Amino acid sequence: MSTLTDEIKTFIVMGLARYETPSEVAKAVGVNFGVEIDRRQVHAYDPACSQPPAQRWCDLHAATRQAFLHEMAEIGIAHKAFRLRVLDRMARKAEANHYLDQTAAFLEQAAKECGGLYESRKPSEPTLLKAPASG
C-alpha cells in the first residue's frame, strides 16, 4: 500500500463524499497525483466503513457531503417541478407544430416523472409488532 499525503487523503474523502465509487476515486488519484492505489485503500476513508477513519476525515466527509447536497439543490433540473415545466413547454411546442409523435413522447416522459419512475425509492422499514400488555 502506498503512503498517502494529507492532500491525497483530502482528495479521497471529498470524492467519496460526492458519491464517487472507491474505484473512481482510486483512478482519479492515479491521474491527479501519479500514485497508484487500490479501491480498498480508498474505502478505508469512508466513514461508513467497518473501521472508520480518524475523526477529522469523518468531519471533512460530512461537511463536503452537506455542501454537495446543498449545491445539487440549486440545480434546476434536479427538481421535478422544473423538469415538468420544461416537458410541458416542449410538448406544447411540438403539438403546435403538429409533431404528434414527439408530443406523445413528452407526455409519456412527464407521466413517468409524475409517477416517480425516475426517483429512487428506499424500501420501507418493517414495523415491529408490540405484544399486547398483559394486565
- pTM here is 0.62
Rounded to the nearest 5 percent, the helix, strand and coil shares of the chain are: 60, 0, 40
Q: What is the pLDDT of residues 65-107, one digit of tens each?
A: 999 999 988 888 888 899 999 999 999 999 999 999 999 999 9
The pLDDT of residue 42: 95
Contact 22, 46 (CB under 8 A): yes
- How many C-beta neighbours within 10 Å does residue 26 have? 21
| pLDDT tens readout for residues 15-26 | 999 999 999 999
| Confidence grade of residue 132 (pLDDT, cut at 50, 70, 90) | low
- For residues 40 and 26, give the distance between their C-alpha atoms in angstroms, rounded to a whole number: 9
Q: How far apart, in Å, are the Cα atoms of 46 and each of 15, 17, 31, 58, 78?
A: 10, 8, 21, 8, 26
